[in-house]
Structure formats: C-alpha cells, structure tokens
Amino acid sequence: MRILVCPHDMQLGGSSINAVDLARAVRDLGHEVWVMGRQGPLRQRVAAAGLPLLALPERAHVRPSPAVSRAIAGAVRRHRIDVVHTYEYWPLVEAFLGTFVPRGTPVLGTIMSMGSLPPYFPRTGVPLTVGYGDLYEETGELRGLEGARVHLLEPPIDTAIDHPVAAAAADGGTPEVDVDAFAAEHGLLKPAPTVVLVSRLAKHLKQEHLERTMDAVARLSAELTGLRLVLVGGGSIERELQARAARLNGDLGRRAIVLTGGMADPRPAYALADVVVGMGSSALRGMAFGKPTVVVGEEGFSRPVTPETIGDFDGLGFYGRGAGRVPVERDPLVGQLTALLGDQAERERIGTWSLDLVHERFALDRHALRLVEWYEQARAERPVVRGRVGEAVRVGGRLVGFKAAQRGQALRARTRSRRAATTS
C-alpha cells in the first residue's frame, strides 16, 4: 500500500511522535509511506527514520485550511496514495475535505488528545482510531455507520529503542544511550534521588501537571537529601517555568529543579530517573525503561501506575482529572513520590511489572500490524464519492456554526472584560 501520514504538527508532542513511529513501523512491514508536515523539530525524527517528507503550507490563517486540503489532495494525486492517515482533528477534517476529489481516497483518523469529538467532525466515511477507552465508548454511536468503524489504538511504544538495557554497556562496549554524557552536560553527575518529567511545556493540559511536580519536589527537598527534578521539554511556557524554577531553587539554596530544554532523544533522561512523572506517551516511555511512574493529570489528579491501579487508567488513558487542585502541602503527589523514593524494593517491583506491561500491551510492532489491517479495511470499504460529498457539505455547515459560536464566546468575554475594567 501507499500511505500518506499527516501528524498533528511537527513539534515533539506525544501524538506527533506516535505518528512518525507508526509510519516507520508500517514502512518496515513493506509498505510505501510518506509523512507530510510543516517546519518543526520532529523533522529530525522523520529524517532519522528514513521517511520521505512532503511539505505543507507554513502558515494556515484559518483551520481547517483550504491550502492544506489542496496540498494533501495534490500529494494524493502525485504519489497515487491508497490511504491518508491523519492525527487529531484539524488534519483529519482538512484531509477529508481535500481527498474526496482525487480518486475518493479513504482517510483514517487517529485521535489521541483528550476531550469529546467536536461537532464538525465527519460522522460517516472516516474510520477512526482513538487512544483511550472513554472516547472509544463515546464514539460507539458511530460504529456500524458506513465507513465509520472505530478502533481502540493505545499509544505505541518502540520497545526496540525504549528499554533499560539501552543505557547499559553490553560486553564492556559503549552504551546505546549515554547517560553519563547527559548528566555531565546538565550538571547531574553527583548521584542523587532523581525525578524525571518529559513533556511539552504548554498551557493546555500540561501547565498544572508541570507546576505541581516542580512544587512537590521542592517541598520534598528538605526531607530527601539532594532530591532533584529533571524537566525535559520546550514550549510556549518555558520562560515562565524557568522563572518558577529559579524562584524555587533560590528558596532552597541549591539547584533542585533542572530544566534541560527540548531533546529530540530524551532516553538519557528516562534512564537517569529513579521515578518518572508523566501523562500519556511520556508516562509509558518511562515505564518502558522499567521505572516506577506517577501519572499527574489535571484538577489535582495524581496516581502511581501499579498492578493495583492499572484499571483506573482504562477510561482516560494515562491521564486523569481530580476534584480540584490543592496547596502543595496537601497535594497527594508529595506522598506518592515520598513512598516511591523511600522504598527501593517497591521501585524495583513496580519497574519490572511496568516493563512487562509495556511489552505485552503497548509495543509498536504489534500496533503497526493492527494498523495495516485497518488500512486494508478502509480501502475495501471506501464509501462512494457522492456520499462523501454530501458529508463534506454537512461538515462545512457544522464548521460554520462552530466558528460562529467561538466568535460569540470571544466577543462576550471581551465585553465582560471591558465592563469589569470600567467598574474597577
């Protein structure tokens, strides 16, 4: 098959990394695969995988973008694409609106992000994979509609490169992942209890997760000598978090919170960790290194991933929402980190179990085999062009309503803000 993969963007986020890893794995099964995207650090991962990269227009003033739809349609024609595989909502709609003209090429969408399906989402003609159980149940109403099959595809982990022996020198040779070089670069050579968090530094979904972990480690530093947090990632709130780290480190009188910036290959950080904090794919990558992992979500949620708690993550995936954020002195994350960092035997027990779980349930090669089956199914069940045109018209109508509602909400918010300013 000839497959075109359209990641959400070319940043180092979980969904986009998953897109490239699955594209490489499907290529390795004998298929021709192209990746399509704008500029961004993920291009390095695409190049390292040996995947051909097609360019998208760099600026999209509106989403969905007609220019992106035209670019996808052109790529489908030039490369005689059999299936277009998109990740997240805007790329899916852009591909759907662009590909019913050239050869009626089927589009398969993957949704890894949290939240309900938006109202403009195509309801027929688009097979879908979703990353967690609650969204799979929500989309149950779509199953059985023409071309609207829904599959559960949890985040894939490449267990061939994300594994604990990557950092261990075999037969006295050079380790695949140079932890010592990473530690030296960031001033982490002195052995000390280490919490690692790898994430995009973004407001949406991530900010509470990042701030709570920083605050919890600072709170524990008085009790655990030398405790440090290594935070790997870049993004829109990086400067804000650097300022927070500087303030916390100043209060502690030492460098307990270390921000490394973004890393195309964060494996040395995972390998250095005693405990990993994360959500989604980053939590799973920590588990793939045999590390005990705590999932920190939103509204005060945090929970270690253990044999006793794994069922709690079936609904929302490796994420969660609590009853509300609380001050650090009452944050359950503090106690959870204390328990793990203070008990090496427990860390080893959970780490071994975590490694086995990732291999059995989340391995990339198994996910790629299932994905190829769904590509073949999408080709076999390709809906007629007339039906797709009708659904495209309905999608356009729903988009107009959605955009109008967004503009109305923004206008009301500005009006409230102006009123508050004049009365203060």
Indicate if the pLDDT at residue 142 is higher than 70.
no
Query: What integer is the mean pLDDT of 118-130?
Result: 80
Which range is most confident: 65-69, 188-192, 344-348? 344-348
Tokens coding 197: 């968090």
Whole-angstrom distance, CA of residue 116 vs CA of residue 139: 9
Strands 107-111 and 83-87: parallel
**Least confident span in 78-87, 108-117, 177-186:** 108-117
Report pLDDT digits (tens) over 50-94: 999 999 988 767 778 889 999 999 999 999 999 999 999 889 988
Q: Which residues pair with 32 in a beta bridge?
A: 2
**What pTM does this model have?**
0.85
Label residue 423 exposed, middle or buried (CB < 10 Å: 0-12, 13-18, 19+): exposed
Burial class (CB in 10 A: 0-12, 13-18, 19+), 231: buried
pLDDT single digits (tens) 219-238: 999 889 899 999 999 999 99
CA dist 384 and 388 (Å) reads: 7
Taking only Cα atoms into account, the Rg of the chain, rounded to an integer number of angstroms, comes to 23
Q: How far is the C-alpha of 29 from the C-alpha of 335, rounded, in Å?
A: 45
Numbered ranges of CATH 3.40.50.2000 in the chain? 2-156+364-412, 164-361
DSSP state of 326: -
* CATH architecture observed for domain 164-361: 3-Layer(aba) Sandwich (3.40)
SS3 per-residue string spanning 94-107:
HHHHHHCCCCCCCE
In degrees and rounded to multiples of 5, residue 124 shows phi and psi of -135, 155
pLDDT of residue 251: 95
Of residues 187 and 60, which shows the higher confidence score?
187
Q: 273: which residues sit within 8 A by CB, 6+ positions away?
A: 194, 195, 196, 230, 286, 289, 291
Give residue 335's identity as a one-letter amino acid code: G
All residues at 6 or more sequence positions from 285 whose CB lies less than 8 Å from its CB, including other chains: 157, 162, 198, 266, 270, 278
Q: What is the DSSP letter of 90?
A: H
Per residue in 1-16, pLDDT (tens digit) is: 999 999 999 988 889 9
What pLDDT sits at residue 203? 93
Task: List the structure tokens of 203.
Answer: 């407001």
Q: HEC profile for 240-283? A: HHHHHHHHHHHHHCCCCEEEEECCCCCHHHHHHCCEEEECHHHH
Among 82-96, 105-119, 367-381, name the one with the lowest average pLDDT: 105-119
- At 215 the three-state DSSP class reads helix
What is the structure's pLDDT at 72?
Answer: 94
Q: How far is CA 200 from its chain centroid?
A: 9
Under DSSP, the state recorded for 408 is: H
> What is the pLDDT confidence band of residue 389, given thresholds at 50, 70 and 90?
low
CATH architecture assignment, domain 2-156+364-412: 3-Layer(aba) Sandwich (3.40)
Q: What are phi and psi of 198, to 5 degrees?
A: -115, 120
| Phi, psi angle pair for 215, to nearest 5° | -65, -40
Q: Euclidean distance between the first and final Cα of the chain, in Å?
A: 64
Average pLDDT, the chain: 88
